[in-house]
Amino acid sequence: MNLKKIIFLVVLVITSTYLIIFQWQLAPRPVYLLITNSTDLSKENINGLKLHENIKESNFIKKYGEIHYLNMNSSHDYFSLKNGLVIATDKGSHEIVRIIVNDNNTKKLVTQNGIKLGDFSEKVVKLYGKNNYKRREQGAEILGYIDKKNQITLEFWCEENKIQMIRLDITSMN
């Protein structure tokens, strides 16, 4: 073998190994997250519950009581709280990475700007602004906002322009 072929094969092996080991860093971001202007969601919460809270801390337990394990997938555990919220943590972690409002019994639960289930999507745009993206998933029209600095997304899942679910995530959940 000549030297050029050997160098090419070495570079190919090193590059392939690097891509396999660090694949998670190279995972593509959905285009809508890249092209949407950022919205400040640093104070965003659902009835005071914020992302990154620790579900094992005494203040959390005092406020929300016993949490009920719902299910898991390969990378997250899901729990329900007594007020009807559903939360997710990374596998093996106690830090909240997703908050979901999707039960009609939770109409009293509101976002930082006062949005609740049953509100119209026009109200969302009025209160959160026009820097949003739109996408479809599972038959729902989704109106979303991203805070690129704090790596947070806030999505409103709608049917016939009425909010059926609210989802607050860290961006790696998307």
pLDDT tens-digit readout, 21-73: 444 444 556 777 788 899 999 999 998 999 999 999 999 989 888 888 887 77
Q: What gap in Å lies between CA 150 and CA 55, rounded to an integer?
A: 20
Q: Is the pLDDT of residue 150 over 80?
A: yes
What whole-number percentage of the chain has pLDDT above 70? 82
Question: Is residue 60 a contact partner of residue 67, using CB atoms and an 8 Å limit?
Answer: no
Contact partners, residue 88, CB within 8 Å, separation at least 6 = 76, 77, 78, 79, 96, 97, 98, 100, 173
Provide the mean pLDDT of the chain. 84
Q: What pLDDT does residue 25 have?
A: 45
Q: Considering the chain, what percentage of its residues have pLDDT values greater than 90?
A: 53
* 12-28 residues labelled b (16+ CB within 10 A) or e (exposed): eeeeeeeeeeeeeeeee
Query: Lowest mean pLDDT: which of 30-39, 80-89, 123-132, 162-171?
Result: 30-39
Q: Residue 21: its pLDDT value, please?
A: 47
Q: In this model, does residue 7 exceed pLDDT 70?
A: yes
> Is 107 or 84 the better-scoring residue by pLDDT?
84
